[in-house]
Amino acid sequence: MTLALGVGLLGSLSIPAATAGFAESADPAAAVQELAAQAAALPSGRTTYRAITDYNDEMLALSTQHPGLVKHITLPHKTRQGREVYGIEVTHDVDASDGKPVLFMMGMHHGNEWPSGEHTLEFAYDLINNDGKDPRITRLLDQARVIFVPVVNVDGFMLNRRTSCGVSPTCASSAGVDINRNYPFGWGSNAGSNATTRGPGPGSEPEIQNIMDLTSANQVTVLITNHTSGHTLLRPPLEKRAGDAPDEAAYAALTDAMAAKNGYTGMKSGFDYETTGETPDWSYYATRGLGFTFEIMKTQSTNNTYPEVIEDYLGTGRYEGKSNREAFMVALEYAADPAGHSVITGQGPKGAVLTITKDFDLWTAPIKQAGSVIDPPIAVPTHLESRLITPTNGKFTWHVNPSVRPAPAYTETGVVATGPGKFLKESWTLTCARPTGEVLETVHVTVDRGEQVEVRLQECKTRFNGNGPKD
């Protein structure tokens, strides 16, 4: 039962009195009342904002209590103040190397936007609690992997402020970095950029290097970064002169499908207000996975706003019939659907290590300095690399982002607006190797959105299993 699970899990945390009482209630009328309360409760049963210890303890508890379904992860970089950043991955057989497409959801790039972390972790509970009970969620956990990082900017959250600590040893707020202006793609533009808060260089901050590393090492077909507030659903471009995304039609369609569920207003980010160096533009132009900013809640205040967190998530009270949870479900359906990404299939030797890589430069914007000085754009070497171990029968199905890359508006020579249909016909480099790392075969795979390509790894199979001399 979901309820028994919730009580057990929350035993060491804060148990809402009503939920705790229900487990022991023998009174049928009270039980009905409690069921109604349960229906209006968040998946975790929480009624107050979490502290960082709550996030960290709960993610650890979820992974301990659901082995095989939930994997605890520690992100590669500590924060500027030396704190660890944690997340969880959720899918069936979570420890396997499975080639599933990934939905990556995160919260709190801005440390004072508490509801963004709450909705992120609640969606994780939702999937975990309903696995094996709700056929839709059970199917989606067969098809896709979901990565959750509820608190990206841990230092900022500890200080309850928007910015991270930046390079200031004392965390002086004047030196803080708005890490959602620090992503390298289009960094430093004069559109809404601030030379201090954008950080000392493109992608300089460890908090976003975590997100870039995870995105570069997984096939993230949909990315959602939760923020507050305003009930908007934002997609590229983050400044108007960059032009529409080459995948604007698909982007708009998914925006509309999600907005139909949560009632938010979908728009291109730069038409809200222009910024630079944000998450979704970097992730889209690096990987072609569709990235979105969700501005959840209508109020920015974090005091006494938990009822709104609950109603916005569930679609109750003031948001009756419009649920952010359902918008997240649409995103997960899309992330899992091969029509929205690419698939590489084939047969290799059992236990071979397959790796796909891409290397290219992205560019910052022409960089606005003090006064009217504009420095030339900086190249940002970008490396994508994912791995898959071939299963026992050797047959693999690898859900990947297209090798064909959206043409970026930020270039060596400045900003050149792109638009629908403008792509660079690039390939994935796929290697087949022994577990020792010895590469036995290399092929180039060109695959576009919605396409499936089969690769033959005959040479790898022959050499992997053969006893002949190795060169």
Site residues, Zn ion (CB under 5 A): 110, 113, 227
For the question of residue 295 being annotated catalytic, the response is yes
Edge-first strand listing for the sheet containing 428-433: 379-389, 353-363, 428-433, 439-445
Entry field: residues in the chain: 471
Helix axes 324-336, 135-143, angle to 10 degrees: 40
> CA 292 to CA 225: how far, in whole Å?
6
Minimum separation from the CB atom of position 251 to Zn ion (A)? 20
Question: Least Å distance between CB 315 and Zn ion?
Answer: 23
Query: Which CB atom, from 277 or from 406, has the smaller least distance to Zn ion?
Result: 277
Q: What's the farthest any 2 CA atoms get from each other in the chain? A: 78
Nearest residue to Zn ion, scored by beta-carbon proximity? 227
Minimum CB–partner distance for residue 176 and Zn ion (Å): 14
3 state SS of 261: helix
Q: How is 67-125 classified by DSSP, letter by letter? A: TTTEEEEE-SS--TTS---EEEEESTTTTS-----EEEEEE-SSTT-HHHHHHHHHHHH
The span from the CA of 202 to the CA of 85, in Å, is 21
Name the catalytic one among 113, 122, 278, 295: 295
- The number of beta carbons lying within 10 Å of the beta carbon of residue 159 is 18
Least distance to Zn ion from the beta carbon of 293, Å? 8
Closest CA to 219 of 439, 421, 447: 447
Report d(CA 370, CA 193) in Å as an integer. Answer: 11
CB of 228 to Zn ion, least distance (A): 6
- By beta-carbon proximity to Zn ion, the closer residue of 227 and 322 is 227
For residue 119, the minimal CB distance to Zn ion (Å) is: 13
* Residue closer to Zn ion (CB basis): 63 or 164: 164
Least CB distance to Zn ion at residue 227 (A): 3
CB 352 within 8 A of CB 389: yes
Nearer CB in complex with Zn ion: 50/227 = 227
Cα separation of 346 and 461, whole Å? Answer: 11
The CA distance from 73 to 273, in Å, is 34
Strands (E), 134-179: 145-149
Which CB sits closer to Zn ion, 229 or 382? 229
> Element (H or E) spanning 358, and its range?
strand 353-363
Which residue, 162 or 461, is less far from Zn ion as judged by CB?
Answer: 162
Within 322-379, residue ranges assigned H as helices are: 324-336
| Least Å from the CB of residue 115 to Zn ion | 11
Nearest to Zn ion of 227, 288 (CB atom)? 227
- Nearer to Zn ion by Cβ, of 279 and 364: the residue is 279
Kindly state the smallest distance separating residue 386's Cβ from Zn ion, in Å. 29
Q: How far is CA 98 from CA 92, 141, 392, 430, 440, in A?
A: 10, 12, 12, 16, 21
CA-based nearest residue to 297, from 37, 118, 52 = 118
Measured from the CB atom, the residue of 43 and 111 that comes closer to Zn ion is 111
CA distances from 439 to 434, 466, 470 (A): 7, 14, 11
The conformational region for residue 309 under phi > 0 = left, psi -120 to 50 = alpha, else beta, is: alpha
Q: What's the CA gap between 105 and 225, in Å, rounded?
A: 6
**Which sequence positions are flagged as catalytic?**
295
